[in-house]
Structure 1
């Protein structure tokens, strides 16, 4: 698979296998620029906004979540003041040493991206509410520093995977082949900007502002 390394995020996560970013969201501003990484990510929002996954814009309502599959280009803009929690982890966190059914049929499929996580709009309300409850519990226990809190986080993640797997909600990669290729939207915007401003000098800073990404990407 051809992945654009310019958007790759080089982030320090304090050697933690599971990390939560508590992000301040300001209405009308970008919460984070477009980037991707090899870990899986879950966003939980306490304000309204929008998440762009590759070239697809997904509304982010207050008290909602978004699954971001590994190596998926993503960017978030806030429509109201508040906070957004970004939970980042590698599927190795959930791997088993023994090759049982869970490892070979579920965890390995997630690690290799033959199975992808769905979005909330494809789930029924009851399932969304249950996943929200589990995610809020993860956030609470993460910041509590309760002894053994890591175990509770893993338990909740396993339960979320169980709910999606048992309900047949995971997406086959074959049905989502376009998913890693949609970065072309950024190229289109940049080209359109250059065409519109052809008589004037166009800098890297100008192009970065145009597509809302960090200029170093």
Structure 2
């Protein structure tokens, strides 16, 4: 079973998409997931909390981060925010003719032998400022779609690569076999949760997916994600419930059952913890937007 995000970003002929999310009320969250595409996140306003490969980061207004292919990550915010995620396949940058540029600068990215730095604040000030300008140009161009926008976006992405190479900010990928095994186990467990969240899952059952004892599994999972396995499962269930509340007229009791809660009162309490409003109020607010 594969644990990656099952979503197509962009089209076959233009495999890039810019997701812009303006959260006026706060409490935005995307549960841990991974995908083969690169993802560049820009916080235009507000504050974003991210967890990437088990490490916690915070993006302040105007900052950005790079998420490498297949890195497990989640995004949260409390309070109003506007952020953008530029998601694209690495081979989007390939040249048809194999030349010096392809060999020296593009292939290390598409072959994943070089990785992007995580936070913009770790870059030299001038590099950070110039890359930020490129990202803002990509976002505006994608949404406005002026003439030649597809070409202009690709040029801006290549400009970002040049700036990172000039700053010597790209690093060689060196991951131990033990680290690879750890992330493989975590992806397997998270994928199992996301495939079976509607079913009553036990800690023992989840631990078996990682071939660990329940006590050690809890320690392992918390160290990697910052939350317990059950807390993550409930968070994912609430995320799915929020989508259903926004898109369907199904009763709240039925939605609670369909996302794995057999007790409606417990579901409402957990929903309030995550969204700061009741399911009914959330449905009303999201449909007014």
1:8-52 CA distance string (max 9 Å, x none): 101133524110111233666243111111111100112202111
Cα distance in 2 for residues equivalent to 1:181 and 1:60: 29
Between Structure 1 and Structure 2, the one with more strand by share is: 1
Instruction: Say which is worse superposed, 100-109 or 18-27, in terms of deviation.
Output: 18-27
For CA contacts below 8 A with separation 6 or more, give which structure has more relative contact order.
1
Label 1:81 to 1:133 Cα distance change in 2 as closer, same or farther (>3 A).
same
1:25 aligns with 2:23: yes
- Work out whether residues 10 and 88 of structure 2, in 8 Å CA contact, stay in contact via their aligned partners in 1: no
1:65-102 CA distance string (max 9 Å, x none): 11000011110011331211111101221101111111
Aligned residue number for residue 12 of structure 1: 8
Aligned residue number for residue 73 of structure 1: 72
Structure of greater Rg: 2
Label 1:115 to 1:69 Cα distance change in 2 as closer, same or farther (>3 A).
same
Aligned residue number for residue 106 of structure 1: 105
1:114-193 correspondence to structure 2 within 5 Å: 114-119=113-118, 120-174=120-174, 177=176, 183=183, 184=186, 191=218
Tell me the TM-score normalised to structure 2 length: 0.61
- Work out whether residues 36 and 69 of structure 2, in 8 Å CA contact, stay in contact via their aligned partners in 1: yes
Aligned residue number for residue 212 of structure 2: none
Cα distance in 2 for residues equivalent to 1:179 and 1:66: 22
- Work out whether residues 9 and 88 of structure 2, in 8 Å CA contact, stay in contact via their aligned partners in 1: no
Label 1:77 to 1:181 Cα distance change in 2 as closer, same or farther (>3 A).
farther
Structure 2 stretches of 5 or more lacking a match? Answer: 191-206, 208-214, 220-228, 241-258, 260-289
Aligned residue number for residue 267 of structure 2: none
Query: CA-atom RMSD, angstroms?
Result: 3.2
Cα distance in 1 for residues equivalent to 2:136 and 2:88: 16
- Work out whether residues 9 and 87 of structure 2, in 8 Å CA contact, stay in contact via their aligned partners in 1: no
Aligned pair count?
202
